[in-house]
Structure 1
Amino acid sequence: MSDPNEPLLVAPDWGADALAVVDLAAPERPEVHFPSVGSNPRAVAVSTDGTRAYVVNHDDGTLSVVDLTVPEHPVLRTVPAGNSPCAVVAGLVDDQVCVAAWADGEVVVFDKEGLQGGPPLRVGSGPCALAVAPGGGARRVCVIDETDATVSVVNVSQAGVPSVSRTVCVLGVTRAVAVAPGGRFAYVASRGEGTADGWVTVLDLDADGAVVGDPVPVGAEPRALALSPAGNRLCVANYGSASVSLATVDVESGRVGTPDTVPAGAHPVAVAFAPDGGVIHVVGQTSGVLTAIRTDPLDHTAVALKGVPAGVVFGPDGHHSYVTDQATGQLTVVRAAPRKTAGIPAGEGSKPVNVAVSPDGTWAYAADSASNKVAVLDLSSPAPPAPVPLRGTHKPWDVAIAPDLGFACATSPDSSHLLVLTPAPGKELGSDVTVTPVPLAPGARPYGVAVTPDSRYAVTADSGTATVSLVDPKGGMHTIGAGVVGCQQPTGAAVSKDGKTLYVADFANTGEGLEGGQIAVLSRIEPGQWQQRTVINAATGHLSGPHEMALSPDELRLYVANYRNGKVSVLRRASPEGAWAWHMDIDKDPRMVRPYGLALSPQGTTLYVSSAAGDKGTVEVFAVSADAATHRRTIAVKDEALVPPGLALSPDGRFLYAAVSEKSRDDDQALGTVYGIELDAEGSAMRAIATAPEAYTDRPTGLVCPDDRTVCVVNQGRKDAPVREACRAIITLDTTRLSVSGTKKLPLDKNDEPYSAAVSDDGTLCVANFTSGTVTVFGSQVTPVPVGEPGASQPWDVAVTDDGAYAYVTDRTADSLRCVRLSDRQVTSLDVGRDPMGVTSAPGGGLRAYVANHGSNSISVIGPDDTSPGTPKVVVTWPLPGITKPESVSVSADGAWLFVTTENSGELLMLDTRTGTPRFTVPAGERLTGSAPHPQSAKHLVYLADEAGAAVSVVDTTTLAPLDTTTPLGLDVRQAVGLPTTN
């Protein structure tokens, strides 16, 4: 059996005495079958259920009934149908079929299987065309009597007893007629008395064909007409005036409005509406031109075809039309012009302002600015959305999806948050997600958001703080492997201000006597990737069991605490790129014991060293601004401290903190205390400010101060029974900075045996792992990059280049495009048009991008600067005559089309990305604010957020073009019929 849901097209093949059955399952390359029928087939009709085709054979005077339910499409029977039959219609009451016998002046009515239901019925002279209401169950047939210039209205409401209700005279010769949906009104085109005028007469079939109003004037020599599927538009092909007349129709009264005239190719002979009624295709016989006309607004585009096109019909998907060449019978497939094809509701009362499509194009997120929800839309059907609640007062503005589908995100300007949506482990991103609000800077007001191609960062444009925020939804955690670190027993870490250079102290005894250990110097080559640059060995650095380190503010001195020999090694280099060499040792009398922790003042003039002489934990303070260090004071921390404390200094240098481990005790409870002291206050002893287990301090081995109110403590936990997990304790201090206002913990791996930590100015935290030989890196979750001055800048939209090199951010107040190089956060500014709003990057890699200049009605094109490789510049600015206030831009997946929405407009603009020429204007909604093309270029779809329409509009952006043809046919598409599917 043939699949009744597969779309088919049938047409008479007069050249081969066959019926051409065209399978449209692959619409751009249809497959054609040719069951033989009678001689010189002229017309075809299809039963309402699509199981039978009826072909009238002009020279045989017969009707062939063809079975469409099996692949061979056999002829079930051929029966007499009068002399010179030339027209047939089906889908009448009780599935009757009506045939016009031109030479007899009669019509003959059959039942569904082609058996005659009654004697021939006399109509006017030369019946040449028939028309009935679409959809089945038609009660009347309009018969065009060519010789008489009349229309006979035949009543077929009683099967087997047809009768002529009325014969109506029209103005001159006619061959074109159409019946409206519902079957009440018929529209007849006629030539008039001469060739300079044409008319359309409206008949009320419920009144037996009474004329409705006066005939409506159209162009010269109307040859064909068609009604839209809704019956509210009428299109007439004016053969003598190279035009079509397009008019509105009142579906209640049947009256035709004043027609508009649209140019078409010379001698138009056929017209067809797309199934949605939005596009009309017209073929010009002698010009070989197909004209595509959009019904609202009226605009048209032409494309040249080969040969002598004779007819046109749309396939059921509306994406393609099919045109035949009268001279050769060749079938040409034509892609339809761009148009809106659907609207996916975003939920009642919603105001979707931006939309993001999943990488496979099966679903989308729509940001609903009227609520605290993101709508999850199934792009395969107009089903109700599955909302994702964002909690609290978060109202989304823009949405983005990570290419690897690991997360999605939405900006919330009013609450200055980025909402990160993550699926459960092992699940896919969609509606079942966890929403995590990530706070940005107070007053950030983020609008645009994009995700880097490697799915590492979400990048926001912060309109309130003149920043671009790089948000790592995973918290920035990664591990530098032991093979890269190259250390046996990492115990200490120091990191440069920019977080790109890491020093790792290796406690391992690699020499003789007290000498031993090394320092590995690592460089970050890109986010999450490091390589070892050099190694400072024990001899070069005078190392002896190195532990914590401190880097001077100018990064030309490196201080290393040597646990074994009781000294601090000072290394020096001449320049930031120079080699390290030993400069001096720091010790004291009596000597320090097991120096462990180090901290250096912000000015680099005072060094704090922890010691455990006499098993008393102290901090020894040295002045180190001169070439020889001078001991200044001793700060007591704790008696009976076998292991000296780790040290950390607040960034402003006012408070010193120490973590005491008490590792040797076997207590079941967590052990460890954090001490603190205000350095300028009276007293020489620290006081306990955070203790286990309340502060989550459990065998602490190192600590850092990311800011003046936070202490981050590295805790080893316990590997032996009773086992306790390692963790980071995040201690928030109160205004005194010597009391705790809050704590939380984040897990570490106890099997790595984490030791000391270091933090860079950008918030990157590095933890050296003693057992595994690795370093764990916790990048800052939010890294703000200033791109302007608050109040003088308004970052709005953001796009990331396909190669991940730059984030482009429009700055509406500064009339600039801010280009943030993501590798080093360097910002360059490009002058674009006034009030730039939307920005998008072109696919295919590189720096090309497009900026919508809202205030100057133009598009700026960004590309590579030939004089400075790897940097962007403004290549050209395209003015948009007649286009006002562009807001958003996006690019098709193949890079061919630029999609633009404009302020308070429901139209989508399509521009050629090579030239900036506006090619199409597509009505697609009420108030379009953002667009997202389908990620697969072959789909030719773009999805648009319609803020006023509470929906996401779907636009098919397929451009008007003829495709490859099938084998030559002798068919006439003027008589072609598309089969209804039964699904």
Structure 2
Amino acid sequence: MRRNRCFVVVTLVLFALPVVAEPKPNDRPPNDRSPVDLVVAADSRTVYISDRTAGCVVVVDLESQHTIGEIPLRGKPQGLALSESGDTLYVSEHGAGTVAVIDVTTHQVSSRIEVGKWPTDVALLPSRNRLYVTNQDNHRVSIVELDTAPATPSSEVAAIREPYRVAVAPNQKQVVVVNQLPLGAGTDHDLAAEVSIVNVDGDADEANVVHVKLPAGSSSAKGICVSPDSQWAYVVHNLGRFNLPVTQLERGWVNTTALSIIDIAAAKRKVTVLLDDLMQGAPDPDSVVVSEDGSQLWISHSGVHEVSCVEIGKLHQLLSGELPADLAAMRDGNQPNVWVRIKETPARLSDLENDLTALYLAGIIHRYPTGGIGPRGIALSPDQSKLFVANYFSGTVGVLDTTTGQLQATIALGDSKEPDLARQGEVVFHDARLAFQRWLSCASCHPNDGRTDALRWDFMRDGIGNAKDTPSLILVRETSPLNRRATRQTVRECARTGVMVSHRIMPTDHEVDALTAYMNSLDPAVNPNLTVSGSLDEAAERGKELFFGRASCQHCHPGPTFTDRQSHNIATASAHEDDGLYDTPSLVELYRTAPYLHDGRAVTVKDVFRVHDPSGVHGKAEALSDSELDDLVAFLMSL
């Protein structure tokens, strides 16, 4: 009920651009502190930090290393951008459907810009006085002309799926967007997340957007930045070997972490290199920044509470065949090392996607602790001497020396409440130290607060050759039995065996209790496909009538969770599962759980009925006309 009340308040104020009174910081009860992004003022005196759970921007004085103010915001504050003049701060308000425009001299919200309902990041294009906003809910990028009064989006361009961060090339000719999740069939062996490149000079249409696919198995792609010369986009992401059976974790057999380098002008991926080392993973990279001279690339790894520094200038030299003599002399057993092999045969550049030692062999990657748990947003000081790290679960900002990588200070954002068991479980859920050789966290496969990575995985517990799509964990407390074959009867059993089977370690009782509490706390978000008042639109209303009527969907998908919690055979049997029995999934949040069916073979909900139900055994949707099926899908996407 609380979520519904919040939604009503948000939808009422979306169209009221004048400033309304916000609660004062000292009037607010303690919250979990969860810094997610930060930006440093040009004078190096101030850093602004978005705090997702406290619902504010925290202002820190860097000389005293203390907070000097909080600016209460709506929704879940996330991405930040500071104007060239330094007097205006733009903050995406995820869930509120707005970008807050903050006067930094008064620490007040001066106005708000209406965008998509789930804005995640913002980036300024100074030459056009334009703001780009990534909207996770509708998979589009809003283009806001700031010279208009009031500032409003002039247009949108389509991304791929859940655009997460956006970066403007220094030459201000292109804008690059990283899409967090892949879009396609789970049975596609090349399924991967993509990067979208927007041509600034062109019209806002599909002709001026190109998409570059990352390597197969790329998901949870979050961080992106552009080289100072505007030639390269650097993208960090998880790289899963989802085409292999999950028989082991050792040495990156299943999970690896990657940096992909995109040639912006050519709209082509040049190379992907691994950021893990031979015996330890570096999962769940979140953010990436490049130094002004193009020599260093800093990356936060939220799963292992570290940042890595890649000497990116030297990496480009190696990629062009410039090898130091000592590196060229190193051997890989009885053959030349990977860099020599690439120099001799440039077509072997793709070998780096599977080489866990290449960067370490070259001595161009270094990893450092951040002084906290769950590092996410990172930013360099204007003089490039310090790296600031938002430690999400610690409620702190770590300050690192960029020459040595050593932690210089840890700045607390303010009072926070004692973490309850669910919050402790959230920390465990995102902690890759709870896995053999740290190759993954629960969030690696269930990003976005327990949802899906859009990939399928072949676990040994039910034989090999029958991979299953990653299910969302939303409402697991009400939808047991769990997993695609309904083999887990309780959330606690799922938490315990998930760590044992997927992470290859034995969790403690407290870790299981905490994970169970966190998983039980996972509720659906307010559906962005509902109307402003929170109701169904006309098409969804017609679809609702069909759902409970002629389409006969309610027999297996009764409300309120839209599952009968039984297993059925709908003629989609996988190899080694001749009975074809699969658990009836909940339809809640169906709009964000693609691909569909137990193995992800259906890209869209419509494909479930028109492409993958030739026998007409999946309800009675085959009898519907195309327009009626569209209405049914509209209802399903509103659940």
Fold shared per TM-score above 0.5: no
Structure with larger Rg: 1
Tell me the TM-score normalized by structure 2: 0.41
TM normalised by structure 1 equals 0.28
